[in-house]
Structure 1
Amino acid sequence: MRAEDSPNFDPVARAYRPLEFLTFGPYLERCRFHFLSKLGHSRRALILGDGDGRFTARLLASNAKVEVDAIDSSSIMLELLAARAARLGPSAEERLRPLQADARKLDFEGTGYDLVVANFFLDCFNVDEIAGLVAKIVPRLAPEAIWLVSEFALPAEGLMKWPSRLIVASLYRAFGLLTGLKVRTLPNYAALLDQAGLSRIAGKRYLKGLLVSELWKLDAQKATTSSPDYSHQ
């Protein structure tokens, strides 16, 4: 059941892809899929709020052995995902377990996840809510699990420093009106992942830093930490 204070993404579900392309062209999709080719080793994946299911379907198609638990609060988003999986055939359908739930309220039951994916998902929560999610998920990860995050960002310098702030504020305002989303600022998820024992190992930026995709790896010892080597487009 959806909590009363949860945003309702059902009204935008079927228009999600065209709205995305009208506003950012192909760049959200490029950002979302950038590290897909690096995930062929994954066998047990937890996908958080994948929207209309494009990433999950692509993962199922490209990795014939991965089993996926897909969590989303929107029943229509999950219907779209199920339809994509059905078009891939019985094997993909059998490897997908969709679950309608508010991730903040969910007691995660799966274990041994070697992959977590949060594409344009964490920006729907404040830092306390993300801290709670991370605290529940990390104990259920396999050793050296990978966490993929794709998100909007606010560049500290460069051409997009000020336009990015206007764009992000406008997006929050629009989604607040359409879905009831109450968050209005991008959370510092990186600090929370780092504190939970994950290390950022790779990153890719698009649109001069407005969009970023990152790979984080579970490393409880935190033996070595270094800044990610970002490439720009």
Structure 2
Amino acid sequence: MTRTQPNFDHIARPYRWLEYITLGRALEQCRLHYLPSLLKRKRALVLGDGDGRFLAQLLAQNPRLHADAIDTSATMLQLLRERCEALAPNASARLNTHQSDALTCPLDPSYDLIVTHFFLDCLTQPELGTLITRIAPTLSPQAVWLVSDFQIPTGPMRLPAKILVRTLYLAFRILTGLRTTQLPDHASPLQQAGLTRIAHRHRLAGLLITELWQLNPTPP
């Protein structure tokens, strides 16, 4: 059965401002938190980076990096390319963009960096398992997977977080046709693929997380 694709084209240009109005710069801070740890990476696969605010910074600060960026939205990819080329020297020679579904797009071997900022929450649990199973064979030794996403924390923030996440899913269903309705568990399939979480940071009382997972991490 063909997967129904959400359409992010018509919210691509105002997306940054919608994000700022909703949660300020908290999502942007999550995306950029581990950027200094990625400056020796050489080959990246970036899924659903939206308008490219993270990837432009990564390419600008890591001049040796080459990246594949995959997104279903042509407008998002156009904004991503424009932002990368404006900020990063020779970005056009180091960046390949693919308007495609990450679950079916052909992948190159030997990525040492995977980036999924606020992308895995667009997938169902079976789709997430399929994605990780597809990507795992392309990872080079000690590759790093950077994840930023929403989560439902424990404690007093649990109920407000559940209401906010449910509201966001409803809004994206109305605006884009996104069919996903609940946050998937990314930790279990990443562990099953042989990755270990080596760093994590919470924001907004645990509503937002950003994590580094590594394949065969070097013992301390």
Q: Report TM bin, short chain.
A: over 0.9
What is the DSSP-based 3-state SS (H/G/I as helix, E as strand, rest coil) of the residue aligned with 1:160? helix
Which structure 2 residues correspond to residues 71-220 of structure 1 after superposition, within 5 A?
71-88=70-87, 90-108=89-107, 110-157=108-155, 159-219=156-216
CA RMSD, Structure 1 to Structure 2 (Å):
1.4
Structure 1 Cα separation of the partners of residues 200 and 192 of structure 2: 18
Question: Percent identity, aligned pairs only?
Answer: 48
What is the DSSP-based 3-state SS (H/G/I as helix, E as strand, rest coil) of the residue aligned with 2:154? coil
1:44 is aligned to 2:43: yes
Structure 1 Cα separation of the partners of residues 44 and 102 of structure 2: 15
Structure 2 Cα separation of the partners of residues 111 and 140 of structure 1: 4
Shift of the 137–4 alpha-carbon distance from structure 1 to 2, 3 Å rule, reads closer
What is the DSSP-based 3-state SS (H/G/I as helix, E as strand, rest coil) of the residue aligned with 1:166? helix
1:35 is aligned to 2:57: no
> How far did 1:107 drift?
2.9
Structure 2 Cα separation of the partners of residues 173 and 208 of structure 1: 22
Q: 1:127-159, CA deviations, whole angstroms, 9 ceiling, x for partnerless residues?
A: 1101111111110010000000000010022x3
> How far did 1:89 drift?
5.3
Structure 2 Cα separation of the partners of residues 197 and 91 of structure 1: 34
Structure 2 Cα separation of the partners of residues 211 and 136 of structure 1: 26
The one-letter amino acid of 1:211's match is: L
What is the DSSP-based 3-state SS (H/G/I as helix, E as strand, rest coil) of the residue aligned with 1:104? coil
Structure 1 Cα separation of the partners of residues 19 and 207 of structure 2: 14
Structure 2 Cα separation of the partners of residues 93 and 186 of structure 1: 34
